[in-house]
Amino acid sequence: MNKKHYYIKTFGCQMNVYDSERIANILQTLGYSPASTPKAADLIIFNTCHIREKAAEKVFSDLGRAYAVKQERAEEGLDTIIGVMGCVVQAEDEQISVRAPFVDFATGPLTYHRLPEILAKIGRKKGKTIIDTEFPAESKFDFLPENHSSGGCSYLAIQEGCNNFCTYCVVPYTRGVEYSRPVKDVINEAKRLIDGGTLEINLLGQNVNSYHGEDASGKEQNLAYLLRELAKIDGLKRIRYTTSYPADVDDELIACHRDLKQIMPYLHLPVQSGSDKILKAMNRRHNSADYLRVVEKLQTANPELRMSSDFIVGFPGEEDSDFQATLDIVNHVKFIQAFSFKYSRRAGTPAALMKNQVEEKIKKERLDILQDLLFSYQLKFNKESVGKIMPVLFDMKGRHAGQLIGRTPYMQNLHAELGKEYMNKIVNIKVTEATTNSLSGVMEG
Ligand code: 5AD
Ligand code: SF4
């Protein structure tokens, strides 16, 4: 019998990348192997993102293309299952049956552990979309096959969901309320990843620093405790965690940046806006002074630490002076990387109903100005890296033969001419060139 193949396209955040890896784990236990194109796949899955309108709309155009592939394959006598997973399903399940009725199944981000059951049902329920958008009582993590490492850097989800309800954000509605995995489960998963060759673990959660998983005695422990436990594991060279919420950065966590050499000197801490009026309207639990205080404490704990952030421009009610406050905070913190977005109105969130929406043209102007400023700091930092020797973890092949791509401690992408024996290794590299988005360098010594 021919082996079945799957193709997964992932949209959105790192949590979706992690989920897609876990979906691949499930499919492998069912006898599937990866296909390099949708045309070669018996099962095509889109793991979707609902955070902004653009991300959500992309799925529907991709689904149209997948349907064409399904029809081409049918002419060759081949069956194709099309599935949609992730946050678009949780938020727009009805839209999927209306706009893409050929989809065989759709599951939310909290129920993909039921994939074996769903696939078995498809045989029996031909022609009807199976939809599972329950917020289940069980945790999917307890039902997933063991996660093994496939490279030098691995993601490890420790927390999911969010109770913050920022007024622009769909996450609390798509990923549900906060859930933290027990300490033991995280440590065991980390050990398996390290045994498989992982040197760097990036702990993931929508609000990762509100982690409160139970230890063996049933006591809730925080992220600082978990980081200290992880740092005891032999072979784990680098730890990152993302995404953090500024108001939940506590002194114990800050002390980890002082004490644990495995924690990389780079932290993604979204501020969203520099204006206190807008931060309040966003329902963030920090103002700009609180944010700056946290950054200062972190950089006192580890003077090498550099910051990255997310920004939204054109939130309802944002005036020129509010936007200026955002530019001011950028000039103050000098973020070395950042993601910035135009505010996108999401149905069901409080901000979508706010009266004082900002015109598209102004949003675009502000985004251009902000990005120019952010890129200037990014380029400056990258240029300052030239001449320095940095430990780089290589985990990707470059575009040309004999080239590898890796990451510096500061999450800069770095290209180097290196043989594949250096893949998934940390190598000391002297940085020779820098652009806004990447560095190049040569092996030192
Ligand atoms: N519009 C624009 N950006 C958004 N984000 C979240 N929701 C929206 C929205 N409605 C951004 C925030 C968040 C990042 C993941 O996406 O900056 O930190
Ligand atoms: Fe969304 Fe705010 Fe939660 Fe981040 S903290 S996931 S922006 S609600």
By CB atoms closer than 10 A (0-12, 13-18, 19+), residue 234 is: exposed
Per-residue pLDDT of the chain (445 residues; tens, 9 = 90+): 568 999 999 999 999 999 999 999 999 999 999 999 999 999 999 999 999 988 888 999 999 999 999 999 999 999 999 999 999 988 888 888 889 999 999 999 998 889 999 988 887 666 678 888 888 878 888 888 887 767 899 999 999 999 999 999 999 999 999 999 999 999 999 999 999 999 999 999 999 999 999 999 999 999 999 999 999 999 999 999 999 999 999 999 999 999 999 999 999 999 999 999 999 999 999 999 999 999 999 999 999 999 999 999 999 999 999 999 999 999 999 999 999 999 999 999 999 999 999 999 999 999 999 999 999 999 999 999 999 999 999 999 988 889 999 999 999 999 999 999 999 999 999 999 999 999 999 999 7
User: How many CA atoms within 13 Å lie on the side-chain side of 183?
Assistant: 18
Report the separation in Å between the CA atom of 144 and the middle of ligand 2, taken as the mean of its atom positions.
26
Between CA 388 and CA 411 the distance in angstroms is: 15
Domains belonging to the chain, first-starting first, are 5-132 (3.40.50.12160), 146-264 (3.30.750.210), 272-385 (3.30.750.200), 389-443 (2.40.50.140)
CB 164 near ligand 2, within 6 Å: yes
Q: Which atom of ligand 2 is nearest to the CA of 175?
A: 6
Q: Which atom of ligand 1 is nearest to the CA of 340?
A: 17
| pTM metric for this prediction | 0.94
CB 171 near ligand 2, within 6 Å: yes
CB 281 near ligand 2, within 6 Å: no
Between CA 194 and CA 241 the distance in angstroms is: 16
Is the separation of the CB atoms in 234 and 270 below 8 Å?
A: no
Is the separation of the CB atoms in 160 and 207 below 8 Å?
A: no
User: DSSP letter at 347?
Assistant: T
| Residue to probe by mutation, ligand 2, list 16, 163, 164, most atoms within 8 Å of CB | 164
Give the strand pairing for 81-86 and 105-107.
Answer: parallel
Beta bridge partners of 346: none
- Please identify which residue in the block is written with the tokens 């997948």: 66
CB 279 near ligand 2, within 6 Å: no
